[in-house]
Amino acid sequence: MPIYEYSCPGCDVYEVIRGMGAAPAEDACPTCGQPARRRISAPHLARTGTAAFQLIDSTERSASEPRVVSGGLPSPGRGATPTYTTNPLHQKLPRP
């Protein structure tokens, strides 16, 4: 989804992710509520391929198009899940 920039006269520039063509010319500022005008800016094409942008896009898409999970639930009572890595940072990675 494209990122639109709005300029609030009382605050600053903020970004909103909306559907293509779904951004109005004026929007209420999320901070102060004043009408903010949409800015014309260069597209951020370099951001579309990044992992962060793909995560944001898939998260927003899952709100309206959830992925269907196939297969059964994991069987309880089989003990702890096997450990594939010892790096504690891997525990923070998103699960499928």
Site residues (vs Zn ion, CB under 5 A): 8, 10-11, 29, 31-32
Between CA 55 and CA 45 the distance in angstroms is 16
Q: Cβ closer to Zn ion: 9 or 90? A: 9
Q: Could you tell me the smallest distance in angstroms from the CB atom of residue 9 to Zn ion?
A: 7
Q: Cβ closer to Zn ion: 3 or 11? A: 11
Q: Cβ closer to Zn ion: 14 or 53? A: 14
Q: Could you tell me the smallest distance in angstroms from the CB atom of residue 32 to Zn ion?
A: 3
Q: Could you tell me the smallest distance in angstroms from the CB atom of residue 35 to Zn ion?
A: 9
The helix/strand/coil state of 55 is helix
For 38, phi and psi rounded to 5 degrees? Answer: -75, 140
Q: Who contacts 92 (Cβ-Cβ below 8 Å, separation ≥6)? A: none
**Which amino acid is located at 13 in the chain?**
V
